[in-house]
Structure 1
Amino acid sequence: MASNGNKDFIIKHMNADHQDSLVLYLQAYCHVSAGDAKSARLEDISLSDLVILADGVRYSVPFDPPMKSFSDTRSRVVAMYKDSLQRLGLSEFAIKEYRAPQGFQIVIFVTCLATYIGFVQRSNFLPGSIIYESLELEKVPAFTQFCYDIQPLLFPAMVGIHVLESGLLAFLRLRPHRVPLFSGLWFAWMTSTFIEGFGAFQRIKGMVKEEETKRENRK
């Protein structure tokens, strides 16, 4: 058996450095929602289970099979962490920051944003509108007429495509990489995707690749 000192060390270490693991254990093994599990704190540990408190409720997460000694704790909690990720369909890499467009992606972002602003209403291409007058569109009548003609098709199509891309990002990237739903970070990525589209996918892919490279270099 472990001394109380060893148990205290394990509890303090898990709460200080691996609180995210405790949250995942509750979600995977006790079917606790992400919102209810986010305050998870390890209260006690025995050879047979972890006792975790979250949102005022105490949960028992069993070791299956029970440990033979507390020296097995590290390998067990690591294995449970990986198993929890697999059960929940999550990635080991959690996205904790928003990365803005870089390089040519800035051009795409600005172009898409300008398109939203310009094509939000058809009257922008008629004399008297702010956009028509400030851009002096009377000097390019053919282009202005073309924009006026395609606005009813272009704007809804662009919104529809980017809404679809935003939904795919939320489901295929933000959720697996553990970005909390409706958090500030979630809204940053979703807003960016709604404006620019595919560029956000590329940046997240690059972030994951960077993390994988770092882990390989640490081995």
Structure 2
Amino acid sequence: MADQQAKDEAAKNRIISHMNADHHDSIVRYLEHFCKIPFWTADSGKMTDIDLRSMTFACSGGRKTYSITLNPPMTSYRDARERAEFVPPTGWYAVEFAIISATFLAYSQRWWFARDAIVHQILGSGFAAFSWAIQPYLFLGMVGIHSAEMAYFVHYRLQKHSVNPRSFLFWQWMCTTFIEGMFAFRRFDGLVARKREEKEKQKH
């Protein structure tokens, strides 16, 4: 019993240290959302305690404390150790990644479609002329649409799951979303669903 208590205490200390050192942005969002406090107060927040049912935070140098109830409560401190990860494109995702990347690359330079340039010589004048006409609209359209998808992904996926913008993981997902768009959404959502299933199995 004493051994388990020591393990739990060590796990609590690791979680608190990790949250304060690497997930300050998540602490701010928790306080803003659950405690309804303004950013300038939440920005000074530090986690001070955690148990299976709640998290406790201190703001303004410890002058104000806030408690957030965990619903549902954790069954063990291992539940707090869920880690985000990057899922690279494989299978059909790898095929679409290659096609979209090739399209970005091919239509990034208009002069490739000029008369007597490489595309004209290999694929003929008809395709070269058509590509010359659509190149600026296609390329800028892809950049605009994929940039919008990337911004949406950051707000509704990465921020929601507390992926730190200063982490390599964040930029891996950003880059692949800029190339793939909706296909990256599907992979990320599949990852989240799998993590939830694993968590549910641990409870039984």
Do these two structures clear the TM 0.5 threshold for a shared fold by scoring above it?
Answer: yes
Q: Return the match for 1:143 from 107, 123, 127.
A: 127
User: CA contact under 8 A between 1:42 and 1:52: conserved in structure 2?
Assistant: yes
Structure 2 Cα separation of the partners of residues 126 and 216 of structure 1: 58
User: 1:19 and 1:82, CA in 2 relative to 1: closer, same or farther beyond 3 A?
Assistant: farther
User: CA contact under 8 A between 2:27 and 2:47: conserved in structure 1?
Assistant: no
Q: Provide the secondary structure at the position in 1 that maps to 2:65.
A: strand
Stretch of structure 1 that moved more, 137-146 or 16-25? 16-25
Quote the RMSD (CA, aligned, Å): 3.7
Q: Deviations over 1:130-169 (max 9, x none)?
A: xx43x67444221121111111210111111100100110
Q: Provide the secondary structure at the position in 2 that maps to 1:107.
A: helix
1:194, distance to aligned residue in structure 2 (A): 0.6
Q: Is 1:16 the counterpart of 2:20 in the alignment?
A: no
Q: Deviations over 1:74-99 (max 9, x none)?
A: xxxxx62449xxxxxxxx89652211
The equivalent of 1:80 in structure 2 is 69
User: CA contact under 8 A between 1:112 and 1:195: conserved in structure 2?
Assistant: yes
User: 1:51 and 1:169, CA in 2 relative to 1: closer, same or farther beyond 3 A?
Assistant: closer
User: CA contact under 8 A between 2:164 and 2:170: conserved in structure 1?
Assistant: yes
Larger radius of gyration: 1
User: Aligned letter for 1:155?
Assistant: F
User: Aligned letter for 2:92?
Assistant: F
Structure 1 Cα separation of the partners of residues 81 and 14 of structure 2: 19
1:103, distance to aligned residue in structure 2 (A): 1.0
The equivalent of 1:69 in structure 2 is none
Alignment of 1:124-203 (within 5 A): 124-126=112-114, 132-133=117-118, 137-203=121-187
Q: Return the match for 1:214 from 173, 198, 202.
A: 198
1:104, distance to aligned residue in structure 2 (A): 0.8
User: CA contact under 8 A between 1:41 and 1:53: conserved in structure 2?
Assistant: no
Structure 1 Cα separation of the partners of residues 103 and 123 of structure 2: 19
Q: What is the percentage of aligned positions where both structures have the same residue?
A: 24
User: CA contact under 8 A between 1:93 and 1:208: conserved in structure 2?
Assistant: no
1:50, distance to aligned residue in structure 2 (A): 5.5
Structure 1 Cα separation of the partners of residues 62 and 9 of structure 2: 15
User: 1:115 and 1:12, CA in 2 relative to 1: closer, same or farther beyond 3 A?
Assistant: same
What stretches of structure 2 of length at least 5 have no aligned partner? 73-79
